[in-house]
Every structure is written in C-alpha cells, then in structure tokens.
C-alpha cells in the first residue's frame, strides 16, 4: 500500500468544536482509505471524544496544546497569540512536510494570515484566491475569488482562471474546465477596464487547461453552462453571500408553507421524495470546504458553523485535491 495521505486538522476552531471535528473525522475515515489525521488541540477534550466515536488508533495522532485562536480575534492578534495555538501548529506541520494539507473550521482571517506567514506562494502567482464549490443544474462549479482580495488586476484574474480550472480538474478528473468572468452583462462592452482587458487577453490566448467562454451574469451562475466562475474578491463575496441567503430563504419559506396548513402537510407527504431531493441539492454541508489557492500547499477552510457532516465533506474535498495533484497542476499551467 502507498503512503497514506496525511491531513493536519485544527480541532479547536469553529462552533461546537472539538466535538464536530472528531465526529467529522470519524465519518470521513469510514468512507475513505489510507488517510492519517494529525490532530492539533487539547487532548483532555479530544481523547474522550475519540473514545466516544471509536476512532481507530492507527489513523491519527494528537499534538496537545491548550492554546487556541478565538473566533473574535483579528488576523493580526491571532498571529500574535504565538506559535503554539492549534491553528499555527497545524499549518506549521504542513510547512515542515509532516502533512499534505491542513483543514480548519476556525477564524478565516487568522487561517489566511498564518498560512501566508508559514507557506510560500506558488512561483508567478501574486495573490492567493479563496475558492469554493457551488451547485448548478448540470454538476458542480468552482467560484473564485470569494473574498481574499478586494481589488484585483488583470494578471490576478488570469491566474484565478488557471487556478480555478486546475481545482476543477483535481476534483472532477473527467470535466473540461469552462471559464467565465462574472460581470454586469454578457456583452464585450460591459464592465470596468480591468475585466474588459482580462476578457481580451483570455480570448486572445489559447489555454490547454480550459476553454474561455466570456462573461457570465449572476443570474446564470447556476445554469451549469460554465464551471469555473472568476471574479475579484469583492464581487465574489457578495455573490456568495447573496446565494447563501437566497438558499436559506427558499428552504425556510418552503418548510413554513408546507407545515402551516393541513393541505400543505398532505402535499409534502405526497411529494416527500421530490422535496427530499430538493433539500439535499441546497444543503450547504455538501459544498463545505473552501480552498485557499496560490500557496504551495493545500489549505482548506471549513465553514465555522457547519456540523460534523459538513466537516467530513471538507475533509473529502481535501482528500480529492491531494489525490488529484492540485498544486502540481497549478504549477504546470501557471508557467
């Protein structure tokens, strides 16, 4: 058997941690093979949970620390807490090649800053980008940047196109990346100077990794005609939060409508399978696991408020990008 994939896990970050972290690791370990977890956190809290969930002793080790990065810490104050917090130690293990990737559900700003302090950027990439999976009518799409960079230049957006395409290929090996730039219209004359120049450069150059499909508007993101959507962090983050809010609104209003009257309850019973499928399609836990692209090692951010199922899915994303050789694909194509 080949060497196991080693995932460093910050066990103390996010809501309801470390309970959901250890349960999530257990879920993931039952569905995956040849994975080893380096767990960083307070062993007095971790060991009872490991015993509770019956995690095999052969697939993990614990590095004890009782120091953590708090959710309300600024990125700078989190870094100043020292090098013995669970988050710092987990990232440092990646830096020292003791792990293949790191996953944390903790403080986003702290994760980004401490990762950038410890890890190198991939050569020829100026800025990292936060990317995530979004559902669409046809399959899944990669969207980036989701907030790591408020302002981007033309080169940054081209780099994001390459990195996002490499991510899609790592996750879905048989998919051909189809890139589009998120814009206020689909016509070439729409948008600011930076996005119009990016359009021209992507149109003029032929890339073996992806096909460039031009502009896409926000209302077409989930159609599935393209599968890599590129934006600056300001635009991408607003699009993400809008989509999350709309999804939550639809599911809560539908639930309310189907449970408030006798007819609604009867209708929901008749359409139980269809409603269950609809709910699953919009379940944010299935798409949990944002990736910070541009660093020379994989850094995965799990949503802080997700549960153990969501955390297990972020570990699955982590496993897939390691097996899919994401970093190698980016390095190969960025040059």
My answer on whether 213 and 271 are in the same domain is yes
Residues 61-83 have pLDDT tens digits of 999 999 988 888 888 888 877 78
81 vs 54, which has greater pLDDT? 54
My answer on whether 90 and 38 are in the same domain is yes
- Torsion of the alpha carbons at 240, 241, 246 and 251, rounded to the nearest 10: 100
My answer on whether 258 and 145 are in the same domain is yes
- At 275 the pLDDT is 47
Angstrom distance (rounded) from CA 43 to CA 81:
20
What domain range is 276 assigned to?
126-291
Q: Which of 2, 17, 1, 51 is nearest to 314 (CA)?
A: 17
My answer on whether 110 and 133 are in the same domain is no
Tokens 């139980």 locate to 272
CATH at residue 325 = 3.40.718.10
Number of domains in the chain: 2
Angstrom distance (rounded) from CA 22 to CA 28:
10
The residues near 80 (Cβ < 8 Å, ≥ 6 apart) are none
Mean pLDDT, to the nearest integer, of 92-120? 93
Tokens representing 168 are 């899609």
Angstrom distance (rounded) from CA 130 to CA 164:
10
My answer on whether 94 and 132 are in the same domain is no
Sorting pLDDT into bands at 50, 70 and 90, what band is 304?
Answer: confident
Residues 16-51 have pLDDT tens digits of 999 999 999 999 999 999 999 999 999 999 999 999
My answer on whether 87 and 208 are in the same domain is no
My answer on whether 313 and 169 are in the same domain is no
My answer on whether 151 and 268 are in the same domain is yes
My answer on whether 119 and 225 are in the same domain is no
My answer on whether 110 and 152 are in the same domain is no
My answer on whether 59 and 132 are in the same domain is no
Residues 121-157 have pLDDT tens digits of 999 999 999 998 888 887 889 999 888 888 999 999 9
My answer on whether 185 and 170 are in the same domain is yes
pTM of the model: 0.86
Sorting pLDDT into bands at 50, 70 and 90, what band is 273?
Answer: low
């Amino acid at each position: 058997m080949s060497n196991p994939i080693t995932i460093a896990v910050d066990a103390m970050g996010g809501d309801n941690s470390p309970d959901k972290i250890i349960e999530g690791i257990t879920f993931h370990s039952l569905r995956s093979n040849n994975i080893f977890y380096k767990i960083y956190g307070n062993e007095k809290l971790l060991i009872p949970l490991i015993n509770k969930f019956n995690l095999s002793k052969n697939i993990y080790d614990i590095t004890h620390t009782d120091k953590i990065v708090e959710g309300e810490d600024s990125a700078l104050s989190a870094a100043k807490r020292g090098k013995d917090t669970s988050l710092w130690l987990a990232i440092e293990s990646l830096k020292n090649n003791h792990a293949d990737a790191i996953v944390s559900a903790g403080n986003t700003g702290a994760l980004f800053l401490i990762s950038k302090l410890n890890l190198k950027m991939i050569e020829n990439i100026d800025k990292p980008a936060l990317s995530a999976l979004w559902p669409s009518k046809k399959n899944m799409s990669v969207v980036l940047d989701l907030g790591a960079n408020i302002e981007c230049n033309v080169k940054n957006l081209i780099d994001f196109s390459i990195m996002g395409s490499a991510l899609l290929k790592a996750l879905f090996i048989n998919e051909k990346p189809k890139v589009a730039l998120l814009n206020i219209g689909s016509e070439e004359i729409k948008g600011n100077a930076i996005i119009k120049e990016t359009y021209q450069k992507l149109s003029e150059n032929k890339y073996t990794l992806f096909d460039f499909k031009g502009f896409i508007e926000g209302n077409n993101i989930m159609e599935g005609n393209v599968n890599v959507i590129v934006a600056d962090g300001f635009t991408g983050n607003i699009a993400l939060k809008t989509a999350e809010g709309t999804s939550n609104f639809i599911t809560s209003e539908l639930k309310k409508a189907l449970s408030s009257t006798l007819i609604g309850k009867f209708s929901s019973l008749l359409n139980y399978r269809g409603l269950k499928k609809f709910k699953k399609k919009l379940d944010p836990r299935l798409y949990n696991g944002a990736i910070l692209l541009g660093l020379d090692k994989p850094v995965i951010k799990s949503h802080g408020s997700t549960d153990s199922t969501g955390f297990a899915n972020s570990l699955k994303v982590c496993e897939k990008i390691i097996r899919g050789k994401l970093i190698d694909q980016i390095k190969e194509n960025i040059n």
